[in-house]
Amino acid sequence: DQGSVPMRQFKKSSKLDNVLYDVRGPVVDEAARMESQGMRILKLNIGNPAPFGFRTPDEVVQDMRHQLPDCEGYSDSKGLFSARKAIMQYSQIKGLPNVDMDSIYTGNGVSELINLCMQALLDTGDEILIPSPDYPLWTACATLAGGTPVHYICDEQAEWYPDIDDIERKITPRTKAIVIINPNNPTGALYPREVLQQIVDVARKHQLMILSDEIYDRLVMDDLEHVSIASLAPDLFCITFSGLSKSHMIAGYRIGWMVLSGEKYCAQDFILGLNMLSNMRLCSNVPAQSIVQTALWGHQSVRNYVVPGGRVCEQRDYVYKALNDIPGITAVKPRAAFYIFPKIDVKKFNITNDEQFALDLLHEKKILLVPGKGFNWGSPDHFRVVYLPRIEVLSEAMGQLGDFLSHYRQA
């Protein structure tokens, strides 16, 4: 009698209990459900350039075509010689100290390497400083690895720069590393040299490893310069993460890298751990590695998008003004990447749950935004807008958002 035997339930592992990754969370699921019913959703939620008409440079596609027949086998676990050589030269030009071929690891996007690094670094109870708001993969991977993410505040009043006093306050004897995301997702902030220097000083004082996510380093506007924090810290152990997903509009190819720099003696054992995990995954996607040299040193198409008058820059200017023109919304001007993280007046709109706000907007106006909660932001008063769509689409979205807020939950 099979009916009397309770069906076995397969539960997810308890390792995942506290892992949060909501950029693709409940609001996105609801949007997918609505789409499956035939509704058209205006998506301002994901940093994936390809669907918005941003094309990969032709030479990169041509190179991939040309190389593909030679990419059948595994590569060295850290990556192809040609890719690592190109990344090494790029790193040296950015001033990263003490970088050689051995310092470079390619990955299936920066994502794989963030996970690999957290697994190699953190034991249960080890603390790692991560920004709030953050790109939530950092928090998720630190938690999954058994570590304790400790969030330091980025200050909206100060262009969203990291709050150095808050960083200092949160350091304990268990703090191993500090993560910075520069240029930043979700705020679009670009950190000037002085701020980076202050972070280096704190890291030096407390002997912290510096992990810097710089995947947007070539998407910088307003003629500003991107400075790699590792270039300011030859006496500290740093890891710099970057890749081609955003700079070459090839998020789907899956290619990123990390570069170890500075003082490596103190990290010898950790590096053995990195090597072991790198070997265990055999290697990263070889066809994508094969185009790194051409992409990094070829025609930089992204440059044309971010100069004044370029598409990304114009869309940034448009969305920044349009958001600030909506009563109850204020936003700091982003300087890099393609995100803006506006503040909403929660008192005016009686908002206590940002996810509910995003769902209400989705249901009424069919606009998809990610609530601040998805970026480990502690109050329900922010959301992220991706300004990759063209101005006509952004204009429709901003009009609808203004219309929605003109009556939302007001007495």
Dump the DSSP string for 396-411. HHHHHHHHHHTTTT--
- Contacting residue, 42, 99, 110, 292, with ligand PLP by CB under 6 A: 110
> Is residue 106 close enough to count as binding ligand PLP by CB under 6 A?
no
In the 8-state DSSP scheme, what is residue 94?
T
> Is residue 388 close enough to count as binding ligand PLP by CB under 6 A?
no
Backbone angles phi, psi at 223, to 5 degrees: 60, 25
| Shortest distance, position 213 Cβ to ligand PLP, whole Å | 5
> Is residue 256 close enough to count as binding ligand PLP by CB under 6 A?
yes
Of 119 and 408, CB closest to ligand PLP: 119
> Is residue 47 close enough to count as binding ligand PLP by CB under 6 A?
yes
| Shortest distance, position 76 Cβ to ligand PLP, whole Å | 20
# binding residues, ligand PLP (CB under 6 A): 13
Of 56 and 111, CB closest to ligand PLP: 111
Distance (Å, rounded) from C-alpha 28 to C-alpha 50?
19
| Residue 189, SS3 per DSSP | coil
| Bridge partners of residue 385, in order along the sequence | 340
> Is residue 185 close enough to count as binding ligand PLP by CB under 6 A?
yes
Binding flags for ligand PLP, 224-253, as an x/- string (CB under 6 A): -------------------x-x-----x--
Distance (Å, rounded) from C-alpha 301 to C-alpha 49?
13
| Nearest by Cα to 19 from 107, 115, 117 | 115
For 84, what's the count of Cα atoms within 13 Å in the CB-facing half-sphere?
Answer: 22
Of 109 and 372, CB closest to ligand PLP: 109
> Is residue 267 close enough to count as binding ligand PLP by CB under 6 A?
no
| Shortest distance, position 237 Cβ to ligand PLP, whole Å | 20
Specify the stretch interacting with ligand PLP by CB under 6 A; choose among 108-116, 197-205, 232-240, 279-287: 108-116
How many CB atoms lie under 10 A from the CB of residue 235? 10
- Contacting residue, 215, 260, 283, 394, with ligand PLP by CB under 6 A: 215
> Is residue 389 close enough to count as binding ligand PLP by CB under 6 A?
no
> Is residue 135 close enough to count as binding ligand PLP by CB under 6 A?
yes
| Shortest distance, position 109 Cβ to ligand PLP, whole Å | 2
- Strand (E) positions, 196-286? 209-213, 237-243, 256-262
Of 255 and 351, CB closest to ligand PLP: 255
Distance (Å, rounded) from C-alpha 64 to C-alpha 120?
32
- Contacting residue, 213, 217, 355, 381, with ligand PLP by CB under 6 A: 213
| Residue 315, SS3 per DSSP | helix
- Token digits of residue 205: 């004082």
Count Cβ atoms within 10 A of the Cβ of residue 318 and give its class: 0-12 exposed, 13-18 middle, 19 or more buried: middle
> Is residue 49 close enough to count as binding ligand PLP by CB under 6 A?
no
- Contacting residue, 42, 104, 171, 181, with ligand PLP by CB under 6 A: 181
Specify the stretch interacting with ligand PLP by CB under 6 A; choose among 73-81, 83-91, 109-117, 322-330: 109-117
Of 134 and 159, CB closest to ligand PLP: 134
Of 98 and 285, CB closest to ligand PLP: 285
Q: How far is CA 409 from CA 329, 345, 347, in A?
A: 15, 12, 10
Cβ-based neighbours of 51, under 8 Å, separated by 6 or more: none
Angle at 200 between CA 195 and CA 204, to 5 degrees: 150
| Shortest distance, position 120 Cβ to ligand PLP, whole Å | 17
| Residue 130, SS3 per DSSP | strand
Q: Is the peptide bond before 173 cis (omega within 30 degrees of 0)?
A: no
| Shortest distance, position 339 Cβ to ligand PLP, whole Å | 8
| Nearest by Cα to 86 from 248, 251, 304 | 248
Of 139 and 245, CB closest to ligand PLP: 245
Residue ranges binding ligand PLP (CB under 6 A): 47, 109-111, 135, 181, 185, 213, 215, 243, 245, 251, 256
